[in-house]
Structure 1
Amino acid sequence: MIKKSFLSILFIAVISTLFLTSCSTKQNGLENMKTLKNTKWKALVLNNVDVKNDRKVANINFEEDGRVFGNLGCNNFFSSFKEDNGKLTLAQAGSTMMMCPDMTTEHNFSSVLSNVKSYEINGKNLRFFDQNNKEIAKFIKE
């Protein structure tokens, strides 16, 4: 009887520990994420204009090897990036060259990519800033 009670208590303790550890690890992982490598983001605001993610979703993806790519709202783009302590450098981007009915998001996103100098990650949000530390883009983690 005592052995059965002990095993039940031990089982509950192990399950509780695993549950609490997995929850705190996930939360801390989001809060402590400060690198762009291996992340994907959906554009919400570009140059103070809300993004209309209709048929195509404007997004940016950062790879471990320094490649960056995504969709400008119409065309796909590709480039490379370097990050250093919140500073962000993007090489000149290349893109496909389709014409879409509304190119507003495309033009705003291209401008953001050309002007970004730093970034900040806060939870599931990513913000880009220009050389004057003015926010020029806001993204949400995908």
Structure 2
Amino acid sequence: MFNFSSLIMKKLINLSFILVFLTFSSCDSVSKLNPLSLLTGNNWVLSSLLGGGLDANKFASGLPFLNFMDGGKLSGFAGCNNFSGSFQLEGTSLNLDPGAMTKKACGGENAEGQIVNLLSQVKNFKVAKDKLTLFDGAKELMSFIPQGN
């Protein structure tokens, strides 16, 4: 004879195990998606400007880069001069302040002014597959890749 209540009980037990597994799996995923941990720990090197490629001639001293550090500290290189400032992060909202900048004379055509200007326009970001993209709302301003990639 077929026992219907036993079948329902087995299904409920299996469902309980699945729910427990999903709960613990999702907790681990949330910790991996901490926005601060996505930004820190990399030297982010410029890979595109305004959704297009880069003209290496505009960066004779080297490609610009960003370093996000604990405590909301930001440092980097804008193409000729170094800077040391801060950032504010709330979810995917991001504000960058390059802060103090060295005052080296930059010869030739240099996009440093454009880089600094774009940094001040950043409102949000996305990190996907080792690529950091900075946006002014929906408009892509710059993208970066971890140094060495």
Fold shared per TM-score above 0.5: yes
Mark the runs of 5 or more structure 1 residues left unpaired by the alignment. 1-27
Report the equivalent of 1:134: 139
Runs of 4 or more above 2 Å deviation: 31-35, 46-49, 53-57, 102-105
Aligned AA (1:135):
E
Contact 1:88/1:117 (<8 A) preserved: yes
Mark the runs of 5 or more structure 2 residues left unpaired by the alignment. 1-28
Contact 1:46/1:108 (<8 A) preserved: no
Residue 61 of structure 1 aligns to a residue whose secondary structure is strand
Aligned CA distance change for structure 1 residues 120 and 93 (closer, same or farther; 3 Å): same
Aligned CA distance change for structure 1 residues 102 and 119 (closer, same or farther; 3 Å): farther
Q: Which string of whole-angstrom CA distances, capped at 9 and with x for unpartnered residues, describes residues 19-48 of structure 1? A: xxxxxxxxx9xx957431333200112334
- Aligned length, in residue pairs: 112
Report % sequence identity.
27
Mapping of residues 1-142 of structure 1, within 5 Å = 32=33, 34=35, 35-47=38-50, 48=52, 50-52=54-56, 53-91=59-97, 93-131=99-137, 133-142=138-147
* TM-score in terms of structure 2 length: 0.65
Aligned counterparts of 1:44 and 1:127: Cα–Cα separation in 2 = 10
Larger radius of gyration: 2
Aligned alpha-carbon RMSD (Å) = 2.3
Shift of the alpha carbon at 1:93? 2.1
